[in-house]
Amino acid sequence: MTSLTATPHRYAAQYALLAVCLAALILPLSFSAGAIATPAIGRDLGGSPVALAWITNAFMLTFGSLLLAAGTLADTYGRRRLFVWGVAMFVGVSLALGAVPSVPWLDLLRGLQGVAGAAALAGGSASLAELFDGNARTRAYSALGSSFGLGLALGPMLSGWLISQWGWRSVFVTAALIGTVGLVLGRRFLRESRDPDAGRLDVVATVLFSAALALLTWAIMQWPVSGLSSAEVLVKLGASGLLLAAFVRGQQRAVRPMLDLSLLRYPRFLGVQVLPIATCYCFVVLLVALPLRFVGIEGRSEIDAGLAMLALCAPMLVVPGIAAWLTRFASAGVVCALGLVLAAAGLWWLGGIGTGASAAAWVSPMLVIGIGTGLPWGLMDGLSVSVVPKARAGMATGIFSTTRVAGEGIALAIVTAMSSSLVARQLAQAVPQASAEQTAQAAQYLSAGELSQAAALLPPVPRQVLASAVATAFTEVTWVLIAITLVSAAVVLLFLGERRLSREQATVVAQSE
């Protein structure tokens, strides 16, 4: 596909912005759709618990590990070109997902969907920087951020409704239809631009980084199956560490590194990196764990699960703007830390909800978590560029985005593995006549939201016993999430809370919204 010159049009910039925002909308929609659809996919196509977990992890892994490489490709070969190719690939893969015959093929295509998402996001966001200037650029990126928030807020509800009406395949077809509109507008109205001084893609660094993340995620997911001390897990962890060390060493020697690690010498920038890690554990993992419990374990419909998730996600449409306003009265670090403490309180409340609770019982704690997470969520993008020299803002954004998306994939793998291990311990106590192998396999299925398949592996036992094991394990997992969130709040307060932002930095943070 060759690059086409956009035809002049009175509202070309607005249509181009709409194209990029539509692409940004389908990325969080695709993430949440995988979680909502997993129980239905398991019922339809079967598949092992690990294979079902890769439905979400494959997308996040490729998306996060290739963002930096996609940014380099956009600067070198053209931002509009990469956006068009990325969205076109996303549409094609999404249509293929609507007709996929088995879970392994679905996992593979989800990985390709993540590759396409990285290309679309990198090309589209860079195109906006060339298309708009001054306050118009601020408003454009605000619209881009709002599109992500809208996708997060409406994704679970829309996915649940689509699955209840036309089945899980309709979710991916709908994403393809939305992407098609963005593709048509992007080809028509986006202008081509590139960086004449951009270097070539560092293929070796890209492969090392992606392989290290893949092996780390694979090892974590293998942990409940083989045990943390098994040779299979240890070999994967060791290989991941070696590949990551080789990547870091190569970046330190590179003339134009893909990931400039020297930025981590800035204490405030290092503190900013804690924010996306914290939100992974207090918010993002719940986007996957809660639908699996609602639909697969408690037997709620997909649309009911989607409506329940609205309480968690809807604050993302409003609270980020409030966070920017609060920086007039307190430092951004204080606002972020308070938000994380509030999210931890919501997690404590959420962990106390047992099996059989009404849908209304979940709403209040999920709202508290959503509001608390929305405070750092609304500030951390602006902080990532305001705490480093202006000339290095682009690299700072790349590091921050990679930390955020790659961290989400790793957090999901860790929480899934932890949940499976804790459920297995509960089952060993509740069903003592079952063997260790039976409880381990059943726990994996329960963690993937497959209660029926778990029950088939065990001696006859009331399903309420299995649901209770999941609820108890979830409570124990929330304690770990609370600890991570509170430690992160303390670190953020230490690095970002003591000194108020300068007037210029505060302007950058406020304009990011």
Domain ranges of the chain: 7-200, 203-253, 265-513
Question: Among the ranges 149-153, 434-438, 471-475, which has the highest mean pLDDT value?
Answer: 471-475
The two tokens of residue 237 are: 């962890």
- Asked whether residue 337 carries a pLDDT value surpassing 90, the answer given is yes
Domains 7-200 and 265-513 share a fold: yes
Per-residue pLDDT of 46-68, as tens digits, reads 877 778 888 888 888 888 888 87
Could you tell me which residues come within 8 angstroms of residue 399 by beta carbon, excluding any fewer than 6 positions away? 259, 260, 263, 264, 273, 384
Give kind and range of the element (H or E) at residue 391.
Answer: none
Overall residue count recorded for the chain in this entry = 513
Bigger pLDDT: 463 or 394?
Answer: 463
- Asked whether residue 102 carries a pLDDT value surpassing 70, the answer given is yes
Residue 348 buriedness (CB in 10 A; 0-12 / 13-18 / 19+): middle
Per-residue pLDDT of 278-326, as tens digits, reads 999 999 899 888 888 888 888 888 788 888 888 898 888 888 888 888 8
Q: Evaluate whether the domain defined by 7-200 bears CATH number 1.20.1250.20.
A: yes
Once rounded to an integer, what is the mean pLDDT over residues 150-161? 78
Position 393 confidence tier, pLDDT thresholds 50, 70, 90 = low
Domain 265-513 falls in which CATH fold?
Growth Hormone; Chain: A; (1.20.1250)
- Asked whether residue 217 carries a pLDDT value surpassing 80, the answer given is yes
- Asked whether residue 5 carries a pLDDT value surpassing 70, the answer given is no
Q: Are 26 and 178 in contact (CB under 8 A)?
A: yes
Q: What pLDDT score was predicted for residue 88? A: 95
Once rounded to an integer, what is the mean pLDDT over residues 387-416? 73
Per-residue pLDDT of 181-193, as tens digits, reads 999 998 888 888 7
Once rounded to an integer, what is the mean pLDDT over residues 465-482? 92
